[in-house]
Amino acid sequence: MTAEGKLREDIVRLSKSLFDRGFSVGSAGNISAAVDDGILMTPTNSCLGFLDPARLSKLDRNGNHISGDKPSKEVFLHRAFYETRPQTGAVVHLHSTFATALSCLTGIDPSDCIPPLTPYVVMRVGAVKLLSYVKPGDEKMGDMIRELAGRYAAVLLANHGPVVTGRDIATAVYAAEELEETAKLLILLKEAPKRMLSDENVHELKAVFGAY
């Protein structure tokens, strides 16, 4: 099997895994991964649980649709990350429940909206930037990601959901799951006095495990 053929299978398998465990419902969410000559992307209105490897959308490096079904209308979110973070191998966008719940709260820190409650969110995701609400499909969202100039590996779209990147498809999916689980803990513990990781704890994690 070619490298692209293997990647197509991986996208379908990991997307189904997210769908089967409720990280995505209906036709919500979209996933992309980089190939030598462009990106593979889940098609518009597709369900992550029932993808066909042969029908994934393929776009060239300039964003032109070259094969497969029509790409998701949120493709520009993905392209903005590939353009500004060259280490990006895959992008996962979900409307997962707890991260989306957090994205609707007022009074959260827009430059670190998933604060370091456990080590794994620091190791797998890093700081998450909250981006202002714009309607789905609005290309302004891509511009807002470009304005971050690659400083964040993940963002949370206000009243919408997370966009998480990784070096490869598995890393990006695991990071999206970690973000969702941390958001769940934050919501569960919302009213309780919490012991967060200290700045020193976070520096230690970055020094030992590196920052993506």
Catalytic residue among 120, 177, 180, 181: 120
d(CA 123, CA 203): 11
Give Cβ neighbours of residue 130 (< 8 Å, ≥ 6 apart): 103, 108, 109, 110, 111, 113, 155, 156, 158
Name the pairing type of β-strands 154-157 and 128-131: parallel
- Asked if 120 is an active-site residue, the reply is yes
Both tokens of 31, joined, read 């996933």
Catalytic site residue from 4, 9, 74, 177? 74
Residue 35: beta bridge partners? 38
Task: Count the helix, strand and coil residues of the chain and give each as a percent rounded to the nearest 5.
Answer: 40, 15, 45
CB 183 within 8 A of CB 177: no
> Using the 8-state DSSP alphabet, how is residue 177 labeled?
H
174 catalytic residue (yes or no): no
- For the record, the structure tokens of 190 come out as 């919302």
**What is the distance between the alpha carbons of residues 88 and 6, in angstroms, rounded to a whole number?**
18
Q: Where are the alpha helices (DSSP H) in 85-168?
A: 97-103, 119-124, 140-147
**Active site residue ranges:** 74, 120
